[in-house]
Amino acid sequence: MVSNVSDFYDFFFREMAERFKAAVLKTVEVRASGGSNPSLPATFL
């Protein structure tokens, strides 16, 4: 368990940063693969 407030904020912001990074990477991955609306070249793969 966190010992004080600064440790709590440190943990909280690291956790938020990791989740944000994961969400961005997932979004980029979906866009790169065409997502639900693939670009024309993607339909020929």
- Count CB neighbours of 34 within 10 A: 14
Predicted confidence (pLDDT) per residue in 32-41, tens digit: 665 555 555 5
Q: What is the pLDDT at residue 41?
A: 55
- Cβ–Cβ under 8 Å, residues 33 and 42: yes
DSSP letters, 1-45, are ---SHHHHHHHHHHHHHHHHHHHHHHHHHHHHTTTTS--GGGGG-
Percent of the chain with pLDDT over 90: 29
Length of the chain: 45
Q: What is the pLDDT at residue 32?
A: 61
- 24 pLDDT band, cuts 50/70/90, is confident
**42 Cβ contact partners less than 8 Å away, ≥ 6 residues apart:** 33, 34
